[in-house]
């Protein structure tokens, strides 16, 4: 089996080097490691970091910082266009995606019943603030899309699945959500969450909010339908209340000023419902109307590709 392990790295070389060293021990076959260097300035990754672990691979140096999800999409597109792997592992490089879980993911993928096997964490060890926000996000995601999302970037993809995901423009918005709408067969495998090797997460509250919003945007069509149904119901209730307030005014049951106040509030509700539907329609059209990234465009984002070959005398 030709196995590619893909990981984005940004200003966390120490963690990535430790993870690469563990890959050499936990992967059932010798992996080809593709590190997407997402524009680090202080300590960018080097080809020697992979070679020191006795592995082959390459460092894909991006011309600018794209962000976590786009770095994964760029790396996957590069892999799909340059190689024909039988399986691709996508994982974070900070240690929270444990390499000891890779054999289980590959075993499940090898059963042939799924094109993608995603890792679902059994328990979360973040702060109570993060867990509270995550719970709210999951409920909101389910309310707006009608689906449940319980996994992140850690997953195993078949070669065919990797090529399909590389052709999806939604992968550049939110990678896990794009797996859900890809119509690929996917299944979950429960794993324990690891502990970060070094430092703390750079994702702040604003980043978490944006990350959650992007996952919902991927399902813009589903969200549009639900919001339109909600707005239609809101309009129907508003029209009923407008008619009721008019009748009350005509029969003299309305107190002075009450009629104009009620009409004003209901008109505002109608305008807001219309604006909400219009904005959602525009977002849906923007996402669905976008064309997949072309190879020539990807070449502009990649500054250079640095190959790495296992050092002589070092074995995985």
Same domain for 243 and 106: no
> Given a cut of 80, is residue 46 above it in pLDDT?
yes
204-213, 215-224, 275-284 — which one is most confidently predicted on average?
215-224
* Claim to verify: residue 240 and residue 302 sit in the same structural domain: no
Q: What is the mean pLDDT of residues 61-76?
A: 94
Whether residue 300 is contained in a domain is answered as: yes
pLDDT in tens, 192-209: 888 888 877 766 667 777
Domain shared by 200 and 229, yes or no: no
Q: CB-side exposure of 32: number of CA atoms within 13 Å?
A: 16
Predicted TM-score of the model (pTM): 0.81
Least confident among 75-84, 97-106, 227-236, 256-265: 256-265
pLDDT at 204 (0 to 100): 64
* Cross-sheet strand order for the sheet of 116-121: 186-191, 116-121, 155-158, 87-90, 3-9, 32-37, 56-62, 302-308
Output the CA–CA distances (angstroms, integers) from residue 149 to 71, 110, 142, 176, 177, in the order listed: 21, 23, 8, 8, 8
Please check whether residue 258 lies inside any domain of the structure. yes
- Total tally of structural domains belonging to the chain: 2
| Least confident window among 69-83, 146-160, 260-274 | 260-274
Residues 149 and 161 in one domain: yes
pLDDT at 275 over 70: yes
Bridge-partner residues for 302, per DSSP?
62
3-class state of residue 50 by DSSP:
helix
Domain extent, residue 266, equals 220-289
CB 106 within 8 A of CB 118: no
Please answer whether residues 234 and 269 qualify as being in contact, where contact means their C-beta atoms are separated by less than 8 angstroms: yes
CB 3 within 8 A of CB 89: yes
pLDDT at residue 283, rounded to an integer: 63
Q: Mean pLDDT, to the nearest integer, of 219-227?
A: 80
Between these two residues, 266 and 137, which has the higher pLDDT value? 137
- The one-character DSSP state at 53 is T
**Statement to judge: residues 10 and 128 lie in one domain:** yes
Q: Between 137 and 11, whose confidence is greater?
A: 11
- Return the higher-pLDDT residue of 52 and 202: 52
Binning pLDDT at 50, 70 and 90, where does residue 21 land? very high
pLDDT for 313 = 47
- 106 in the same domain as 36: yes
Quote the CA–CA distance of 45 and 190 in Å, as a whole number.
31
d(CA 108, CA 116): 9
Look at residue 24 in the predicted model and tell me its pLDDT: 86
Q: What is residue 18's predicted lDDT score, i.e. its pLDDT? A: 94
Q: Are residues 234 and 116 in the same domain?
A: no
Position 254 scores a pLDDT of 61
Q: How far is CA 44 from the centre of its chain?
A: 24
Please tell me whether residues 55 and 186 are part of one structural domain: yes
CATH code for the domain of 56: 3.90.550.10
Q: What is the mean pLDDT of the chain?
A: 84
- Is the same domain home to 140 and 275? no
8 Å CB contact between 59 and 47: yes
How many residues in total does the chain contain? 316
What value does the mean pLDDT take over residues 128-150? Answer: 80
The stretch 124-148 carries a mean pLDDT of 77
pLDDT, tens digit, for every residue of 232-255? 787 787 778 778 777 777 777 666
290-298: long-range contacts, CB 8 A cutoff, minimum separation 24: 290/169, 291/169, 292/167, 292/168, 292/169, 293/73, 293/74, 293/77, 293/169, 293/172, 295/77, 295/81, 298/74, 298/77, 298/78, 298/81
Q: Is the pLDDT of residue 316 over 60?
A: no
- The alpha helices in the chain, defined as continuous H runs, are 13-26, 47-51, 68-82, 102-110, 128-145, 159-166, 175-181, 205-217, 220-250, 258-289, 295-301
Residue 282 in domain? yes
Q: How far apart are CA 173 and CA 43, in angstroms?
A: 27
Do 49 and 112 have their domain in common?
yes
State whether 194 and 140 are in the same domain. yes
Q: Please name every residue paired with 36 in a beta bridge, in sequence order, or none if there are none.
A: 8, 60
| Highest-confidence segment of 103-107, 166-170, 270-274, 292-296 | 103-107
* Residue 214 falls inside a structural domain: yes
Percent of the chain's residues with pLDDT above 90: 48
Give the mean pLDDT of 291-307. Answer: 84
Residue 314 falls inside a structural domain: no
DSSP codes of every residue in 101-166: GHHHHHHHHHTSS-SEEEEEES---S-HHHHHHHHHHHHHHHHHHS------S-EEEEHHHHHHHH
How much is the average pLDDT of 82-97? Answer: 93
Q: Do 211 and 278 belong to one domain?
A: no
Backbone angles phi, psi at 88, to 5 degrees: -130, 130
């Amino acid at each position: 089996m030709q196995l590619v392990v893909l990981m984005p790295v940004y200003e966390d070389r120490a963690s990535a080097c430790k993870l690469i060293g563990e890959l050499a021990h936990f992967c059932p076959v010798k992996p080809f490691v593709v590190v997407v260097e997402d524009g680090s300035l202080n300590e960018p990754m080097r080809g020697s970091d992979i070679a020191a672990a006795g592995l082959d691979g390459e460092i894909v140096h991006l011309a600018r910082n794209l962000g976590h999800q786009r770095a994964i999409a760029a790396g996957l597109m590069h892999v799909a266009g340059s190689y024909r792997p039988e399986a691709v592992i996508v994982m974070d490089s900070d240690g929270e995606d444990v390499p000891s879980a890779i054999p289980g993911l590959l075993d499940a993928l090898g059963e042939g019943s799924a094109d993608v096997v995603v890792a679902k964490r059994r328990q979360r060890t973040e702060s109570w603030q993060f867990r509270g926000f995550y719970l709210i996000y999951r409920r909101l995601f389910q309310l707006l899309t009608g689906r449940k999302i319980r996994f992140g970037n850690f997953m195993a993809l078949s070669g065919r699945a990797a090529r399909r995901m590389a052709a999806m423009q939604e992968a550049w918005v939110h990678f896990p959500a794009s797996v859900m709408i890809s119509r690929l067969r996917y299944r979950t495998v429960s794993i324990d969450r690891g502990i970060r090797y070094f430092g703390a997460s750079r994702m702040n509250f604003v980043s978490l909010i944006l990350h959650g919003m992007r996952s919902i945007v991927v399902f813009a069509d589903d969200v549009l339908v639900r919001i339109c149904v909600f707005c239609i119901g809101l309009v129907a209730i508003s029209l009923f209340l407008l008619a009721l307030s008019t009748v009350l005014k005509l029969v003299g049951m309305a107190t002075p000023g009450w009629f104009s106040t009620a009409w004003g509030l209901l008109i505002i509700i109608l305008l807001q419902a219309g604006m909400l539907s219009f904005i959602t329609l525009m977002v849906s059209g923007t996402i669905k109307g976008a064309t997949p990234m072309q190879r020539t465009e990807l070449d502009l984002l990649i500054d250079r590709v640095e190959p790495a070959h296992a050092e002589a005398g070092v074995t995985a």
